[in-house]
Structure 1
Amino acid sequence: MITQQRILEVFKITTRIIFNLALVALLVGLLVSVGRTLLELGLAFTQPTVRLGLKDLVTNILSLVVVLELVRAFVDYFEFDRIRAEILVEVAVVFVLREMMLGLFAGEIKGLDVLVWSSGILALIGARALAIAFPYGKEKKHAG
């Protein structure tokens, strides 16, 4: 007979396997992206204008930062056995900053839109501050 404890153990093992696979996929994607970005670095010099070459470079690097934050969220899951709200908010902040910077760089965001984007970023930073001030549950202490 299958007990609730056995089902819980299977769930935990399955969750760990899935998170491990997702982390491996993110790391492989990150390594490939870094490699491609380095290989495409020459495009910044061969484009007709500096702006065209830098636009691709900036887009790739900002995307790498978002993926790095996602990898950090997965690693954090293994450390605390849950995904902390502050880490998810940090990922959201990085993603919104990326989108805002790309919009500004492309000239798509102007005037009042900058204020709206900045307000959104401030709201996310406020949410992060609240997540840090009121943590959920007790967390393991970091070594060192």
Structure 2
Amino acid sequence: MFQENISKLYKQFVRLAFNITIITLIIGLFVGIFRTVSELGLTVTEAQVLIAFVIREFMLHLFEGKLSGMDVFFWSFGIVSLIAARAISFFYRAPKG
């Protein structure tokens, strides 16, 4: 009788520990997903990443044969303009205040 009670108590503690572990892992998973998504959101909004996306799209369209003639000129002009604007903003910062 005493041994059965101890066995039942042990099983309850094992179930409780298992459930707490599962809940902790699920909470950790959601926290990790939230942090990853928020960091990606901040990364995508940075100016250098945006320039990289523009260059990537240009290269994809160019190698797929979707761009020709004036399209290549306008894309190239746009990319050079972005790089020039980024360089100007790097050297000439607006005064704070």
Using structure 1 for the length normalisation, give the TM-score. Answer: 0.36
Paired residue for 2:57? 99
Aligned residues between the structures: 65
Matches within 5 A, 1:6-45: 24-25=36-37
Q: Aligned pair in 2 of structure 1 residues 111, 91: CA closer, same or farther (>3 Å)?
A: same
2 CA distance for matches of 1:22 and 1:137?
Answer: 35
Counterpart pick for 1:133 among 79, 88, 91? 91
Where 1:109 maps in the other structure, the secondary structure is coil
Higher radius of gyration, 1 or 2: 2
Identity %: 38
Matches within 5 A, 1:78-93: 87-88=46-47, 90-93=48-51
Q: Which structure 1 residue ranges, 5 or more long, are not aligned?
A: 1-20, 30-66, 74-86, 139-144
Residue 51 of structure 2 aligns with an amino acid whose one-letter code is V
Q: RMSD across aligned C-alpha pairs, in angstroms?
A: 3.3
Matches within 5 A, 1:113-128: 113-128=71-86
Using structure 2 for the length normalisation, give the TM-score. Answer: 0.51
Write out per-residue CA displacement over residues 28-78 of structure 1, whole angstroms, 9 at most, x where no aligned residue: x7xxxxxxxxxxxxxxxxxxxxxxxxxxxxxxxxxxxxx9x926x6xxxxx
Q: Which structure 2 residue ranges, 5 or more long, are not aligned?
A: 1-32
Where 1:115 maps in the other structure, the secondary structure is helix
- Following superposition, the deviation at residue 25 of structure 1 comes to 1.6
Paired residue for 1:70? 43
2 CA distance for matches of 1:116 and 1:124?
Answer: 12
- Following superposition, the deviation at residue 136 of structure 1 comes to 4.3
- Following superposition, the deviation at residue 135 of structure 1 comes to 2.4
- Following superposition, the deviation at residue 93 of structure 1 comes to 1.4
* Runs of 4 or more consecutive aligned structure 1 residues displaced over 2 Å after TM superposition: 135-138
